Amino acid sequence: ECYVQNTAREYAKIYAAEAEPLEGFGEVPEIIPIFLVHRPANNIPYATVEEELIGEFVKYSVKDGKEVNFLRRDSEAGQKCCTFQHWVYEKTNGSLLVTDLQGVGMKLTDVGIATLAKGYRGFKGNCSISFIEQFRALHQCNKYCEMLGLKSLRTTHQKQRRATSVKSKNLPNSSTIKKTVPKKAREPRDFISSEH
């Protein structure tokens, strides 16, 4: 949990360095750090600790991509979170996606990362590869994507779908290919620390 969130935090810092200088971009989402605490005298010797976020807790993106969230589409924070996802996806050539972005305003916590099956630069995320596919299919670029010069995923996804459908016609037993089912999205935390 710490490794995933703090890895996503490093990507968010690089994103901020590129986005903040752009005229009109404004504030950038921040993924708060999470720390692992060792408590040897306790029955449960390890716990995670992070800053308490006070205010309305909002899910700006959901792991499985199925939830319709108007705050994601219509709010500045939501649009910038979607742009952050698109930016990470493009920077890693479609190999990694930060997902399950949620928090209060521009402060985010409890994020997830999806990678291709082989991982990305030695890192394997905690979410199914299907989240990458769903993001590619469902993402709608906004003005922040345009400000960063990100390429539209619509044409890329449509080309890949056509190529895949042509290939699958030539494959024997293509109906036996396994489909992965995403895990249920976690509920937001109501507390500062969680014990593991």
Q: Report the chain's terminal Cα–Cα distance, integer Å.
A: 10
Question: Is 1-155 a CATH 3.20.200.10 domain?
Answer: yes
Tell me the domain boundaries of the chain. Answer: 1-155
> How many helices and strands, by DSSP H and E, does the chain display?
6, 9
Contact 22/147 with Cβ under 8 angstroms?
A: yes
What per-residue confidence (pLDDT) applies to 170? Answer: 42
Token representation of residue 44: 């449960």
Identified catalytic residue from 74, 100, 110, 190: 100
76: β partners: none
Contact 136/156 with Cβ under 8 angstroms?
A: yes
- Using CA atoms, how far apart are residues 39 and 49, in angstroms rounded to an integer? 12
Q: What is the mean pLDDT of the chain?
A: 77
Q: Which residues of 63-88 are buried (b: 16+ CB within 10 A; e: fewer)?
A: bbbeeeeeebeeeebbbbbbbbbbbb
Token representation of residue 4: 């995933």
- Using CA atoms, how far apart are residues 26 and 46, in angstroms rounded to an integer? 38
- For residue 72, name the pLDDT band (cuts at 50, 70, 90): low
- Using CA atoms, how far apart are residues 185 and 105, in angstroms rounded to an integer? 20
Q: At what angle do helices 130-138 and 153-170 cross, to 10 degrees?
A: 130
State pLDDT tens for residues 18-53: 999 999 999 999 999 999 999 999 999 999 999 999
Question: Is 100 among the residues known to form the active site?
Answer: yes
Contact 35/2 with Cβ under 8 angstroms?
A: yes
State pLDDT tens for residues 89-110: 999 999 899 988 999 999 999 9
- Using CA atoms, how far apart are residues 54 and 67, in angstroms rounded to an integer? 24
pTM > 0.85: no
Token representation of residue 35: 């720390």
